[in-house]
């Protein structure tokens, strides 16, 4: 894979801390398994704003479009919270997603056996849980127009965002979800609010129309508020969930806590496959820059490491290598090594780097 280009954008807060551990794992695969990538590194988010007065330069955008895969840490933080909207670190990430056309965001929530007790839910409710949330990522209220803040003649101000979905936007993300369901437990739950939103009515109609093409998949529909409730009541009823951009953002944070911590949840953002079989992709942990623990060596790097494993699997078809890294992560946690967010009585508390050390040791053991 030496000709394959990886672009690393570590970003802000704990982004660079967790990405340092990913880089150690990249180096391990390079040295020990001959898995060489052409790795470049660039700025995105607040760090880019500080240097270039924009959260994403056109140059970095261009490099992302050319890369075979992009790895992102996290962006944002209190330092940049009061900037005008267009300059905010988060806009850098949103621009990457939009211009790379990464419409399908895969957010798996998988409970490691050893962590079932770290969940805020009863152990038996989450033990063995394995669900996949497919979040639409380039449409909906995040990008719809009109948008903005305006002042009315009476002096009142009005904030506007618009939820919009076209049929093709719904169909392409639903197909990704149906196909994933076919490879898993063949259950797909489509989530919207067709009871109050026209975009939800259209969503439900379009998803329903696809069902005859995927006869082996059992399709169901659920309102988003109920889905949030069902996720904490009886999460194992779900296999694949497909939903819009905003509902997917909320539901995936919710699902994250089932696994014990936001620090455990990886994600893959995928575009369409082109004629040459190339598919744009960005991999990032679901968590943010965690300003409350940044710079203290407390961040859990597993979400970022598992995102790297998703990259090996989805972008490069390296299932064996991805399995190796996933197994290493499971074993390290099973051996009792924990960062603070997943700490439990009797376990060994490790730092971000300490967790990286254990992963490398485990890779040495497994990969020997």
Positions touching ligand NAD (CB under 6 A) are: 14, 74-77, 90, 93, 262-263, 284, 287-293, 299-300, 303, 339, 341
31 is in an annotated binding site: no
Nearer residue to ligand NAD within complex by CB, 13 or 235: 13
> At 364, phi and psi to the nearest 5?
-55, -45
Residues 103 and 138 sit within 8 Å (Cβ to Cβ): yes
Task: Give min distance, CB of 39 to ligand IPM, in A.
Answer: 23
Task: Name residue 219's beta-bridge partners.
Answer: 188
Q: Is 253 a catalytic residue?
A: yes
50 is in an annotated binding site: no
Q: Which residue is nearest to ligand IPM (CB)?
A: 90
94 makes contact, choosing from ligand IPM, Mn ion, ligand NAD, none, with CB < 5 to 8 Å by partner type, with: ligand IPM
E strand intervals along the chain? 5-11, 38-41, 69-74, 104-110, 130-136, 148-151, 157-160, 187-192, 218-223, 240-243, 268-273, 279-283, 337-338, 348-349
Q: Is 225 a catalytic residue?
A: yes
Closest CA to 192 of 173, 217, 215, 212: 173
CA–CA gap between residue 167 and residue 294 (Å, rounded): 41
Nearer residue to ligand NAD within complex by CB, 95 or 287: 287
Q: Does 94 sit near ligand IPM (CB under 6 A)?
A: yes
Task: Give min distance, CB of 288 to Mn ion, in A.
Answer: 7
3-state secondary structure of 143: coil
The window from 30-38, 88-96, 209-217, 330-338 that contacts ligand IPM (CB under 6 A) reads: 88-96
Q: How many residues belong to the site for ligand IPM (CB under 6 A)? A: 7
146 is in an annotated binding site: no
Give Dmax over CA atoms of the chain in angstroms. 73
269 makes contact, choosing from Mn ion, ligand NAD, ligand IPM, none, with CB < 5 to 8 Å by partner type, with: none
CA–CA gap between residue 297 and residue 14 (Å, rounded): 8
Task: Give min distance, CB of 253 to Mn ion, in A.
Answer: 6
By CB under 5 A, name the one of 249, 284, 341, 362 that touches Mn ion.
249
The window from 62-70, 249-257, 289-297, 343-351 that contacts Mn ion (CB under 5 A) reads: 249-257
User: In angstroms, what CA-CA distances link 324 with 150, 181, 284, 296?
Assistant: 53, 24, 19, 29
Counting Cβ atoms within 10 Å, is residue 77 exposed (0-12), middle (13-18) or buried (19+)? buried
294 is in an annotated binding site: yes
CA–CA gap between residue 114 and residue 217 (Å, rounded): 31
Which H, E and C letters describe 80-92, residue by residue? HCCCCHHHCHHHH
315 makes contact, choosing from ligand NAD, ligand IPM, Mn ion, none, with CB < 5 to 8 Å by partner type, with: none
Q: Is 239 a catalytic residue?
A: no
Give the residues lining the site for Mn ion (CB under 5 A).
249
Residues with catalytic annotation? 142, 193, 225, 249, 253
Judged by the rule CB under 6 A, the positions of this chain that interact with ligand IPM are 76, 90, 93-94, 249, 286, 288
């Amino acid at each position: 894979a030496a000709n394959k280009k990886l672009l690393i954008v570590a970003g802000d807060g704990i982004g660079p801390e967790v990405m340092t551990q990913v880089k150690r794992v990249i180096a391990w695969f390079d040295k020990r398994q001959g898995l060489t990538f052409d790795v470049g590194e660039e700025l995105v988010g607040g760090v880019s704003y500080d240097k270039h007065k924009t959260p994403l330069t056109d140059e970095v955008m261009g490099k992302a479009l050319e890369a075979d895969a992009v790895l992102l840490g996290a962006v944002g933080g209190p330092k940049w919270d009061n900037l005008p909207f267009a300059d905010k670190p988060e806009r850098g990430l949103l621009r990457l997603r939009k211009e790379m056309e990464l419409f399908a965001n895969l957010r798996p929530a998988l409970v490691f056996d050893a962590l079932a007790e770290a969940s805020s839910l009863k152990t038996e409710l989450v033990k063995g849980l394995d669900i996949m949330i497919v979040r639409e990522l380039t449409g909906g209220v995040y990008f719809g127009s009109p948008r903005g803040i305006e002042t009315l003649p009476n002096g009142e101000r009005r904030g506007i965002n618009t939820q919009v979905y076209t049929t093709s936007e719904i169909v392409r993300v639903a197909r990704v979800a149906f196909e994933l369901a076919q490879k898993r437990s063949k259950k797909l739950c489509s989530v919207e609010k067709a009871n109050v939103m026209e975009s939800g009515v259209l969503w439900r109609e379009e998803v329903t129309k696809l069902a005859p093409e995927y006869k082996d998949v059992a399709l169901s529909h659920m309102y988003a508020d109920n889905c949030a409730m069902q996720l904490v009541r009886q999460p194992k009823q779900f296999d694949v969930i497909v939903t819009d951009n905003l509902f997917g953002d909320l539901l995936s944070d919710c699902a994250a806590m089932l696994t014990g911590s936001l620090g455990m949840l990886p994600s893959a953002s995928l575009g369409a496959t082109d004629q040459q079989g190339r598919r744009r992709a960005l991999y990032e942990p679901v968590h943010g820059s965690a300003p409350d623990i940044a710079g203290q060596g407390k961040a859990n790097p597993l979400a970022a490491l598992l995102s790297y494993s998703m990259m090996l699997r989805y972008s490069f078809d390296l299932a064996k290598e991805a399995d190796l890294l996933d197994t290493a992560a499971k074993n390290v946690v099973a051996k009792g090594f924990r960062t603070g967010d997943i700490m439990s009585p009797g376990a060994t508390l490790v730092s971000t780097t300490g967790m990286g050390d254990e992963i490398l040791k485990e890779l040495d053991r497994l990969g020997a």
